[in-house]
Amino acid sequence: MANPGVITAAEAAKRPAGGQMLASIFSKYGIFLIFAVMVVVASLLSPAFLSTINLINVVRQMSVVGLIALGVTGVIVSGGIDLSSGSVVGLSAVVAASLAQSADSSAPFYPGVHLPFIVPFLAACAMGALVGWINGGLVAKTRIPPFIATLGTYTAVRGAAMLYTNGRPISDLTDQYNFVGQGALGSVPVPILILVVMAVVTHILYARTKFGKYVYAIGGNEQAARVSGINTGRFKMLIYIYAGFLAGLAGLVVSARIGSGQPGLGVGYELDAIAAAVIGGTSLSAGGIGTVAGTIVGALIIGVLNNILDLMNVSAYWQQIIKGGIIVGAVILDQLKHRGGK
């Protein structure tokens, strides 16, 4: 009842065959079709695009933003926003890296401290969850708008990352740590595996659990959700914590990818993650709408776009203009299809 996403899906299923069904297919899968068209166009533009190595590159490069976007999707669905995730990447990256330096490091952060990989791993996730907990607390308890609350943590958390390292990078990390960002199991890079696993977990969490149902209900109509007995504050806290945890994990992955924890990591990622969610159909204007599959496709669209512009050697100035145009264009197209379907 308080879940518009479900209503739309249910209505779509009940619709009769014919033109209307086509329209409803478009409305449901519009963004997937746009993605498919992009892939076809990209492969026509550059013969290198469809090579295995390049396709792996695309997914590996988008995996960090994809991880963040999974959590951001839930936050936006609940009617909130999370601007802090890029800063969380920086903080979790430096904290984790400081606990993961190899024994032969020439610039040890904690001299003589050599910990098993599980410690930095947990530290990264915990840092993220901690910031998420603060975000959730601010939103649920003080009732200040999520935009302002997370804008505050966006600034403060970046400051904390700077403070922790005094602005310096933390390098010479252990092989185990770097494996998370640079290694592969079989022929599948680890960052992609992490993204796939977390996407599946997040999908189940959002679509199959009571927690997910409540998050959608709160986003759809918070008042109604509260009246029907949902502890809205508690579930808001939880969704921000989950988003923070994913951003922390993303910080671990990206620092392992470049073999260095840097406080400046992840600048602007929060906007890429929000863009991925929105391109993928998560609604910024109305809560309660958004899916994990859509967000992954949204992140893939951004990834393909970045990749094909590099492959074609488009000038850096034009890249920015084209990216902006295509992101807005994809969302407009998607919305037109939504309107056509209703």
Partner 1 sequence: MKLAKVLVPAIALMAFALSGVPVQAAQKVKIGVSMALFDDVWLTLVRDAMTKWGKAHPDAELTIVDANNDTAKQTGQVENFLAQGMDAIVVLPVDTAATGPITKSVTKAGKPLVYVNRLPGNLPQSVVYCGSNSIEAGIMNMEELGKCMGGKGNLAILVGELSNEAAIKRTEGIKKVCKEKYPNIKIVREQTGNWKREQGKTLMENWLASGQEIDGVASDNDEMALGALQAIKAAGKLGKICVGGTDGSHDALVSMEKGELNNTVFQDPVGQGEKAVNAAYLLAKKESNPDVTDGNKIWIPYQPITKENFKSYMK
- Applying CB under 8 A, the residues found at the interface with partner 1 are 46-48, 51, 53-54, 57, 61, 106-107, 158, 162, 166-169, 171-172, 182, 254, 257-260, 262-265, 267, 306-307, 310-311, 313, 316-317
The residue (of 267 and 271) whose beta carbon lies closer to partner 1 is: 267
The residue (of 61 and 231) whose beta carbon lies closer to partner 1 is: 61
- Shortest Å distance, C-beta 324 to partner 1: 15
166 SS3 class: coil
Structure tokens of 181?
Answer: 């960002």
- Shortest Å distance, C-beta 299 to partner 1: 14
Q: Which of 171, 165, 175 is nearest to 90 (CA)?
A: 165
- Residue 62 one-letter amino acid: M
- Shortest Å distance, C-beta 306 to partner 1: 8
Structure tokens of 56?
Answer: 């792996």
Q: What is the DSSP letter of 223?
A: H
79 in Cβ contact with 222 (< 8 Å): yes
- Shortest Å distance, C-beta 174 to partner 1: 15
142 in Cβ contact with 270 (< 8 Å): no
The residue (of 143 and 317) whose beta carbon lies closer to partner 1 is: 317
Q: How many CA atoms lie within 13 A of 297 on its CB side?
A: 25
CA atoms of 146 and 158, how far apart (whole Å): 18
The residue (of 61 and 335) whose beta carbon lies closer to partner 1 is: 61
Q: What is the full DSSP assignment across 176-198?
A: HHHHHHH-EETTEEHHHHHHHHH
Q: How many CA atoms lie within 13 A of 41 on its CB side?
A: 12
CA atoms of 316 and 110, how far apart (whole Å): 40
